[in-house]
Amino acid sequence: MYIFYGYNWKNMSGEEYKKWVNEAYLYISKKEVYDRVNQLKYVNVGSTQYIPKIDGNVEFVFLGHDAHEGRGDNDKLDITFAKERFYKGNGDPRIWRKCPEWKIWNNMERALWRVGFAEIMDDKYISDEILKNTIVTNALFFTYANDSEKALAKKLNTLLGPDIVNECMKRTGELIFEVIKPKMVICSSCSMVFEPLIKNYNADIRYEVIRLEGTSRRVMRCNYNGVTVLGIPHTSYPVPLPVAAFVRDSYLGKDNGYTMSNVSYASSINPMHLRAKALKKMISKNWAVQSIYYNILYHEYYSTKVDGKYVNSKDNIVIDLTPEEDKNQYVVLVFTRQNDIEKTRDLIKGIWPYEKFNPWVCDKSRHVHEVISFEESNEEIKNKMEKVLQEVKAYRDKEYPLK
């Protein structure tokens, strides 16, 4: 995880940070939390990696999911050092540079140097002056490591369960937006860090989803309470130069074609069964796509089985708006899974008349609805989307009830 500091931002109070640490420690040491984590193999406690000071202006925060540090197979969970870890961290970026296998930090630094981010760099590395005002930490208070497994972050989420994961995310959001208040936060992973951080801290925060020219990877951005938060692909892989340039330009306040117009909003439908995302207008030099989509996804997916199987994560409906070329109009496309296509169409007919899509697209997966002018009927479109989702959700809940 990464956190950056700001020149004119309010100073982080050492007393505020101490209060936050004490409350986080009380949560970690709660009997029901401790007992559950203690029985999980290879799960340990620990989040902060690098924190040179606990007061003063913070320029950057680099924010990861968890520290990927485990504990012995038969070791008891020891939380006595957890509070000290919040104050002292567990390393120094200048040492990490000497460890080629520690790619998470090195890939980020190398990419920022390659895009000429001279404002924070000293030769090929982030300058010592910037590092004095940088915090490297993680969103979860717990960590997991097992050399025989991959996808450790997803595994840790599953082991801890959504209640612990969401509570850690919420408290980390409070740390960032209310205590540290850095200039910029760089989240290493959109889906595992940026989105759950924002959702659990304040689901009403609006954010942009951007697909950059020159890479298939997406990035995310929001600004709340004076803090700019970026979501980028996980830096255990080489950071694409367009992503590094996006970080640089966001820090410097340059748009360079990234800034998107139009609307982004969260759905008001029950969040226990609906995950809503809004994609604003994505602009590059050569193409523009607008897409607003809502996914229906069982909240219990990560912890509940239906008929002995986990609920299909693709059990969703997507409503997509794509622009008509050279026109101020958009085509409404509805995507749904193949075995529900006819039922979904029947439900939608009374809300939106639809036509079959052009023959070059497989009609089993999507169909067209009316062509509309998005700017003139934004609220109407939003209401129709939510009506469709409510109808489909009611059908899904009845047809595929959780056991």
pLDDT tens, position by position, 97-137: 887 777 889 899 999 998 899 999 998 899 999 999 999 99
Residue-wise pLDDT tens digits, 351-388: 776 666 544 344 445 556 666 554 544 566 667 777 77
Evaluate whether residue 255 is within a structural domain.
no
Q: Are residues 352 and 373 in the same domain?
A: yes
Q: Is 328 helix (H, G, I), strand (E, B) or coil?
A: coil
Q: Longest Cα pair distance anywhere in the chain, in angstroms?
A: 65
Q: Are residues 189 and 281 in the same domain?
A: no
Evaluate whether residue 254 is within a structural domain.
no
pTM value > 0.75: no
Evaluate whether residue 300 is within a structural domain.
yes
For the chain, the first-to-last Cα distance in angstroms comes to: 37
Q: Are residues 229 and 280 in the same domain?
A: no
Residue-wise pLDDT tens digits, 318-348: 565 555 554 555 566 666 656 666 777 777 7
- Name beta bridge partners: 135: 3, 61
8 Å CB contact between 131 and 161: no
Evaluate whether residue 208 is within a structural domain.
yes
Q: Are residues 265 and 197 in the same domain?
A: no
Q: Are residues 219 and 332 in the same domain?
A: no
Q: Are residues 285 and 217 in the same domain?
A: no
Q: Are residues 40 and 149 in the same domain?
A: yes
CA pair distance 145, 152, nearest whole angstrom: 7
What's phi and psi for 303, nearest 5 deg? Answer: -130, -5
Q: Are residues 266 and 162 in the same domain?
A: no
Q: Are residues 107 and 36 in the same domain?
A: yes
Residue-wise pLDDT tens digits, 175-209: 999 999 999 999 999 989 999 999 899 988 888 88
8 Å CB contact between 64 and 50: no
Q: Tell me how crowded residue 10 is: count the other CB atoms within 10 A of its CB.
A: 10
Looking at residue 105, its amino acid is W
User: Pick from 249, 276, 301: which residue ends a domain?
Assistant: 249
Domain range for residue 345?
Answer: 260-399
Q: Beta strands of 341-383 (E only): which ranges?
A: 354-355, 366-372
Q: Are residues 188 and 320 in the same domain?
A: no
User: Pick from 249, 282, 313: which residue ends a domain?
Assistant: 249
Looking at residue 262, its amino acid is N
Helix/strand/coil percentages in the chain, nearest 5: 35, 20, 45
What's the domain count of the chain?
2
Residue-wise pLDDT tens digits, 15-45: 899 999 999 999 999 999 999 999 988 888 9
**Pairing assessment for the beta strands 274-276 and 282-283 based on DSSP bridges:** unpaired
Q: Are residues 160 and 46 in the same domain?
A: yes
Q: Are residues 207 and 281 in the same domain?
A: no
